[in-house]
Structure 1
Amino acid sequence: MKRALFLGGTGTISQSVCALAARRGWQLTLVNRGSCMDRVPEGAQVLCADVRDPDALARVLAGRTFDVVADFIAFTPDHVRRDMDLFDGRTGQYLFVSSASAYQKPLAALPITESTPLVNPFWQYSRDKIACEEALNARMRETGFPVTIVRPSHTYCERKAPVALHGTRGNWQVLARMREGKPTIIPGDGTSLWTATHASDFAKGFVGLMGNPRALGSAVHITSDEALSWNRIYEILAGALGVELHPVHIATDFLVACQDEYDLNGDLHGDKCANVLFDNTKIKRLVPDFVCTVSMAEGIRQAVEYMCAHPECQEPDPVFDRWCDRVCAAYQAGLAAFQA
């Protein structure tokens, strides 16, 4: 039985990967702080440690080797340098979860391929992921460190319906505002295309890369082939809730100027306001049975139904609610000044 170590393992992406890997016969070990234990698949071993503490991590992993190590929670070059030092010679493959937000912004051409330049002047998160990739590639060239880089785009699950704009406590407040008949802010004119991939589909590609010798030394994104406009995404959300949508289209520059509560420049200019359409030829070549079977429309409806049926997914975000009201009021006041 092949052995895999996951750093993380209970998040939006990694939970689905864990579940599928377990079903396909992988012997799983997870390292995290012991939270969200209900999301750990049966039979997986959990080692409780702070992955940001190199000494603690080294202690719980002493003497262990793995066929695959996957880090879902590495965000800076220091994180991957720690991993490279710890796992060099102890794994046959290291999978780094990067981000498709690292691709060029604004894009020069569509569709996005793995050869699209990595440059994002708007978002530090993306620049850190790029720096991680550069550090890993340098080590691979120098020592042969067995790296595979995976670039997810917007990946969601039943607990988190995709939206363009939300606060710090998740997405529920966007749905709550819709149910209350409040205005829903949609950045720009809502016509930009967006790709959201269900976590269960993403997992098929990721698990297919695990232990795959053809994937060594490669960078590959895993996304759906589908793209919908943000207007259509919000229409589906409202339809799933059984309410009328009250959209307010506000320029991204205006939203960024109002970001006293949030850092929107990266999240919007650096990601969600770009047209995105991915060429998934590479992942389909590496994993021939990879196919996305959850359409965006069906996945969004399923997420809304799940969130509405599970109170634990309904965390209020009064700060975001007030911020939306303030932004809408400022926008309407600006319009009124020219319509008087």
Structure 2
Amino acid sequence: MHDVLVIGGNRYFGKRLIDRLLAAGDRVTVLNRGSSAPPAGAVHLVADRDDERALTEALGDRVFDVVVDQVCYTPSQAAIARRVFAGRTRRYVMTSTVEVYEYEHSPAAGVPEDAVDPREVAVDLELPWDEARFRDAHYGEGKRQAEAVLAAAPAFPYTAVRVAHVLGGEDDFTGRLAHYADRLRTGAPIAVPAANHPATYIHVEEIADFLFWAVGQDFTGPVNAASHGTLTTDEIVAHIPGGPARFQEVEVGEVSPFSFFRSYGMDNSRATRLGFAFTDARQWLPQAVAETLGKDH
């Protein structure tokens, strides 16, 4: 049994993680800004994780075996967490992203973790990380720098789980699959790059399984979490009712979700060697589409 703090995580795969922890008999504390209460059985702490004093006061004298940080997006947030949780946790699991590889070449086997060593990433705390528009526009860079803060003379053992694009679940709030369904239904064109690259994905239940597994492990540093294989835009759209699909190639500008000007394939062999058994993305893709779009599509 572990004493686990989950920061954020009240929706999508975060809530599934909390359910798994509770079912396993772990003591679970959930900290958020009070927007929604956690499931029965979890302790609820209310604080803004960007407010260091409020965060410290909300935690009181609590200590944890593991902290799972679902909402660390910037180096500023990581710096606060590093100070607040030093001496409070024996392990820190940060949910990171495949987007940290936005500048890296992805070989056929996928990009490995050492392509972005957080110990070598420059951190700039003077950038306007507290501005939502800036933060959203620099999502991958924010995660890179957040990892770098944790990696610099670590205050506690940590891992950064670099999550592939997540699919599946009736509660997918992103609207990405609905984007395609709407265009297939209306006959509107689907904007894709002229050279459209594949990416790695992971099912919502599988990433919840992975994070639950990571809570009980002791490895440190970055780790890629992705189902086996890559998917293309064509493969995803082929499982969505309607059509036929009309793809419109663009050289620059906005393209549809899950269409990429560069490859976002990740090498998941480190996690596999550590003992996690991934599924194949092509096996669960039809189910993921059906779950998300439901009977209306």
Query: In structure 1, how many angstroms separate the alpha carbons of the residues matched to 2:224 and 2:177?
Result: 28
For the 8 Å contact 1:7–1:71, the answer to whether it is kept is yes
2:279 corresponding residue in structure 1: 292
Q: CA deviation at 1:103?
A: 1.3
Q: Is the 8 A contact 2:193 2:260 kept in 1?
A: no
Once the two structures are TM-superposed, the CA of residue 2 in structure 1 deviates from its matched residue by: 1.3
The answer for unaligned runs of 5 or more in structure 2 is: 122-136
Q: Measure the CA separation in 2 of the matches of 1:137 and 1:81.
A: 11
List structure 1 segments (4+ residues) > 3 angstroms apart after TM superposition: 159-162, 169-173
Q: What corresponds to 2:32 in structure 1?
A: 32
Structure 2 distance, partners of 1:244, 1:35, is: 39
**Closer/same/farther in 2, CA of residues 275 and 172 from structure 1, 3 Å limit:** closer
Aligned to 2:16: 16
Contact conserved, 1:225 with 1:277, CA < 8 A, in 2? no
Match of 2:129 in 1: none
* Closer, same or farther: CA 156–173 of 1 in aligned 2, 3 Å: closer
Q: List aligned pairs for 1:192-211, cutoff 5 A.
A: 192-211=197-216
Query: CA 1:91 to 1:254, structure 2 compared with 1: closer, same or farther past 3 Å?
Result: closer
- Corresponding letter in the other structure for 1:13: F
Aligned length: 276
Distance 2:227 2:208 in 1: 12
8 Å Cα contact 1:94/1:148 also seen in 2: yes
Q: Give the share of equivalent positions with the same residue, in percent.
A: 23
Q: Displacement, 1:68?
A: 0.4
Please name the residue that 1:313 is paired with: none
Work out the CA distance in 2 between the residues paired with 1:7 and 1:200.
19
Highest CA radius of gyration, 1 or 2? 1
How far apart in 2 are the matches of 1:131 and 1:278? Answer: 19
Q: 1:80 to 1:106 in 2, by over 3 A?
A: closer
Deviation track 1:161-220 (CA, whole Å, cap 9, x = no partner) reads: 69xxxxxx744762562364231423124752122211110122211111322x13x210
Judged with a 3 Å threshold, the aligned counterparts in structure 2 of structure 1 residues 171 and 5 are, in CA distance, closer, same or farther, namely same
State TM-score, norm by structure 2.
Answer: 0.82
Inter-partner Cα distance in structure 2 for 1:13 and 1:101 = 18
Q: Hey, what's the Cα distance between the residues in 2 that align with 1:106 and 1:85?
A: 30
Say whether the 8 Å CA contact 1:136–1:147 is kept in structure 2: yes
Higher helix fraction (1 or 2): 1
The 3-state SS of whatever aligns with 1:129 is helix
Q: Is the 8 A contact 1:113 1:278 kept in 2?
A: yes
Counterparts of 1:86 and 1:55 in 2: how far apart (Å)? 9
Give, in whole Å, the separation in 2 of the partners of 1:87 and 1:101: 26
- Correspondence for 1:326: none
Q: What is the alpha-carbon root mean square deviation over aligned residues?
A: 2.8
1:163-202 to 2 correspondences below 5 Å: 170-171=175-176, 174=179, 177-178=182-183, 180-189=185-194, 191-202=196-207
Q: Is the 8 A contact 1:156 1:199 kept in 2?
A: yes
CA distance in 1, matches of 2:6, 2:95: 11
Q: TM-score, normalised by structure 1?
A: 0.72
Q: Which runs of 5+ in 1 are unaligned?
A: 163-168, 257-263, 310-340
Cα deviations by residue, 1:110-161 (Å, 9 ceiling, x for unpaired): 3211122368xxx622112111111111131xx5x21111110211331466
Q: Alignment partner of 1:98: what SS?
A: strand
Q: Take 2:52 and 2:252, find their aligned partners in 1: how far apart are those partners?
A: 41
Alignment CA distance shift 1:9-1:154 (3 Å):
same
Q: 1:108 to 1:180 in 2, by over 3 A?
A: closer
Q: Does 2:238 correspond to 1:235?
A: yes
- Distance in 2, matches of 1:104 and 1:129, equals 11
What is the aligned partner in structure 1 of residue 133 from structure 2? none
1:115 alignment partner, SS class: helix
1:157 aligns with 2:168: yes
62, 65, 68: which one aligns with 2:63: 65
Checking the alignment, whether the CA contact within 8 Å between 1:67 and 1:211 is kept in structure 2 is no
